[in-house]
């Protein structure tokens, strides 16, 4: 499973752990832990060079709020 849908799987796994959980997300993983962090036993979220979306904010909205990198003009889409 890929994308933010996999956050539900992470949340399910986390909810089965019998104790406090600290989730750490790197880059895109930041969006995943934001969603999965709703599990009751999650005590904190750590973002390492990661996207940190607000509640109900999509990654597209988050990225769109930032200026485009000059490197983007060199990518083949």
User: Which three-class secondary structure state does DSSP give residue 24?
Assistant: strand
Strands (DSSP E) found in the chain? 21-27, 42-50
pLDDT score of 26 more than 70: yes
How crowded is residue 4: how many other Cβ atoms within 10 Å of its Cβ?
16
* Confidence at residue 1, expressed as pLDDT on a 0 to 100 scale: 58
pLDDT score of 76 more than 70: no
Query: Higher-confidence residue: 25 or 77?
Result: 25
Mean pLDDT of 52-64: 81
Query: Domain-by-domain residue ranges, the chain?
Result: 3-74
**Which of these, 24, 23, 28, 26, lies nearest to 63 by C-alpha position?**
28
Q: Dihedral sign, CA of 44, 29, 13, 61? A: positive
Mean pLDDT of 58-68: 79
């Amino acid at each position: 499973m890929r994308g933010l849908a996999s956050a539900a799987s992470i949340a399910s796994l986390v909810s089965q752990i019998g104790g406090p959980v600290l989730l750490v997300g790197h880059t895109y993983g930041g969006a995943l832990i934001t969603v999965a962090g709703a599990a009751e036993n999650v005590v904190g979220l750590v973002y390492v060079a990661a996207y940190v979306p607000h509640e109900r904010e999509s990654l597209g909205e988050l990225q769109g709020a930032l200026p485009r990198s000059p490197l983007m003009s060199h990518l083949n889409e």
